[in-house]
């Protein structure tokens, strides 16, 4: 018996096959790009995801060398918030507007005006931010009215793949919460919000808990994917909640830190905690009946990738970071602001900008490299401190994953900056692995998500803070926190030049 997890991300679709003991037996990846046709815009054609899904499944099946009849179920995950618009026949009306698109600040302001900022936060658990789905819908209405008139269905990226796999319009509650059109306490679409924003409720699909069956592989999908017709497809979850399942962050007291292109601090809760100012994201979890709090920075490992690509494109990441090991904590007074694509937590500002502050002739490339690692760690500490102050159960452990977590130096810096133990676990495939776990629970191979995670996921390494460096970083973090308020007016002026 095997379980298939499919992760529809911004840059690739991954298909992962896991056996009944949690061992990964096959992985397939199909890469693609996205477009930035104007400043602040980010778009992608949904056909890329469906083609990528077919190719990734074939590659995973080939690597695993198994009979598709042995696959018991399929779980889905993927990039959150992307707006997929379909007409009555299911035809794509325009390229999807992605999670990292920043064009919709006027629509965010309009939502707060129509509903009231505090009321909106208390209903959805969030501010209306440019990355979310709801303001994108308003943008299309205001800027593309002829296209808007043809809308019959609204989906999120992974649910477009679900439609092709099953012929069913459906969405899980974790990803649905990221549209900011749900009442997260009730775990349902908010009739009040939909009426206030004049969005027809029939455009939105039925909502399911993360382990519920939403449909079955059709004969048409089976022909192009190689899967067995009738294989159950489980609801799954948005990439962050599935990632949390994939590292076992499904109980309170355990935080997940994802160090990917974006950076996320995530903790599960048994009830909906809503940060009064909306500085943290409060969503439904992919775990049935649970919620989560999440802080997001937009350029985490993405900051390091930008830095390497621009200044040392011929170096491997290992060789890039090696000289930074010998630089003292604090990079001799050099700070890096990681707002290369705007920011979310705690500064929801698409016009925030990055920068090195404190450069002198004493600073070389190794100082700059270390400053990038430290600046990202400070950005993640912003979210970590908000989580600790939110009233949720105290965080006992931080489980770190993502491409950036491969660096021992970066893990140690994070432990020092957060003043917390960081652990790695035996699962490294993140959201796709979480989707496979949800698929297994969905067909009752495991009784619960929590039980599956306890059985499958084990700690492999632990990093504890160096006490001498914790104090240094506390001082520097205090200075870091002053930079955005001081530079915000300049950022906004620069953005309009």
Residues 239, 270, 382, 419: which is the catalytic one? 239
Q: How many CB atoms lie within 10 A of CB 483?
A: 17
Rounded-to-integer distance, Cα 271 and Cα 392, Å: 9
User: What's the angle, vertex CA 14, arms to CA 9 and CA 18, rounded to 5?
Assistant: 135
User: Would you state the structure tokens that stand for residue 124, as one six-digit string?
Assistant: 């959805």
> Which strand (E) or helix (H) includes residue 422?
strand 422-425
Inter-residue contact 214 to 208 (CB < 8 Å): yes
Q: Going by DSSP bridges, is the β-strand pair 12-19/2-8 parallel, antiparallel, or unpaired?
A: antiparallel
User: Would you state the structure tokens that stand for residue 110, as one six-digit string?
Assistant: 């309009």
Rounded-to-integer distance, Cα 58 and Cα 85, Å: 27
CB-facing half-sphere around the CA of 431: CA atoms within 13 A: 30
Closest CA to 380 of 473, 245, 287, 316: 473
Q: What is the DSSP letter of 419?
A: T
Rounded-to-integer distance, Cα 472 and Cα 494, Å: 32
Rounded-to-integer distance, Cα 464 and Cα 467, Å: 9
The answer to whether residue 239 is catalytic is: yes
User: What's the angle, vertex CA 142, arms to CA 140 and CA 145, rounded to 5?
Assistant: 70
Q: Is 373 in a helix, a strand, or coil?
A: helix
The CA-atom distances, in angstroms, between 267 and each of 48, 227, 258, 285, 384 are 32, 34, 11, 10, 10
Burial of residue 152 (CB within 10 Å: 0-12, 13-18, 19+) is middle
Largest CA distance in the chain: 66
User: Would you state the structure tokens that stand for residue 55, as one six-digit string?
Assistant: 């190719």
Catalytic residues: 239
């Amino acid at each position: 018996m095997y379980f298939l997890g499919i992760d529809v991300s911004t840059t690739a679709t991954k298909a992962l096959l896991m056996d009944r003991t949690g061992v990964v037996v096959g992985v397939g990846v199909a890469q693609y790009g996205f477009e930035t046709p104007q400043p602040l815009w980010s778009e992608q054609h949904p056909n890329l995801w469906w083609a990528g899904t077919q190719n990734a499944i074939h590659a995973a099946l080939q690597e695993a060398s198994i009979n598709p009849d042995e696959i018991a179920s399929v779980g889905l995950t993927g990039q959150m918030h992307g707006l997929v618009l379909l007409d009555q026949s299911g035809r794509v009306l325009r390229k999807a507007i992605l999670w990292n698109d920043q064009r919709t600040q006027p629509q965010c302001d309009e939502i707060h005006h129509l509903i009231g900022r505090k009321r909106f936060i208390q209903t959805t658990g969030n501010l209306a931010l440019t990355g979310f789905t709801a303001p994108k819908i308003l943008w299309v209405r205001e800027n593309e009215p002829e296209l808007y008139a043809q809308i019959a269905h609204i989906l999120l990226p992974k649910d477009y793949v679900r439609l092709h796999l099953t012929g069913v319009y459906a969405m899980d509650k974790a990803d649905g919460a990221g549209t900011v059109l749900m009442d997260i306490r009730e775990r349902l679409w908010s009739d009040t919000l939909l009426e206030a924003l004049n969005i027809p409720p029939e455009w939105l699909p039925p909502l399911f808990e993360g382990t519920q069956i939403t449909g079955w592989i059709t004969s048409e999908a089976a022909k192009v994917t190689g899967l067995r017709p009738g294989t159950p497809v489980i609801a799954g979850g948005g990439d962050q909640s599935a990632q949390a399942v994939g590292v076992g962050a499904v109980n309170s007291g355990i935080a997940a830190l994802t160090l990917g292109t974006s950076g996320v601090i995530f903790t599960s809760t048994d009830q909906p905690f809503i940060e009064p100012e909306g500085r943290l994201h409060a969503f439904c979890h992919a775990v049935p009946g649970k919620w989560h709090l999440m802080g997001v920075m937009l350029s985490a490992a993405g900051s390091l990738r930008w830095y390497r690509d621009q200044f040392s494109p011929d170096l491997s990441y290992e060789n890039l970071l090696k000289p930074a090991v010998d630089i003292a904590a604090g990079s001799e007074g050099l700070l890096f602001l990681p707002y290369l694509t705007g920011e979310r937590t705690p500064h929801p500002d698409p016009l925030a900008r990055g920068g090195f502050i404190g450069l002198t002739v004493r600073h070389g490339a190794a100082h700059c490299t270390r400053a990038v690692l430290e600046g990202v760690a400070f950005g993640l500490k912003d979210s970590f401190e908000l989580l600790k102050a939110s009233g949720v159960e105290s965080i006992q452990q931080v489980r770190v994953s993502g491409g950036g977590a491969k660096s021992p130096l970066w893990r140690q810096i994070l432990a020092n900056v957060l003043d917390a133990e960081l652990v790695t676990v035996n699962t490294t495939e993140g959201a796709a692995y979480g989707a496979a776990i949800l698929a297994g629970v969905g067909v009752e191979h495991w009784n619960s998500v929590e039980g599956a995670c306890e059985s499958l996921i084990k700690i492999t390494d632990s990093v504890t803070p160096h006490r001498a460096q914790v104090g240094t970083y506390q001082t520097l973090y205090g200075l870091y926190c002053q930079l955005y308020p001081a530079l915000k007016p300049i950022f906004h002026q620069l953005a309009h030049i």
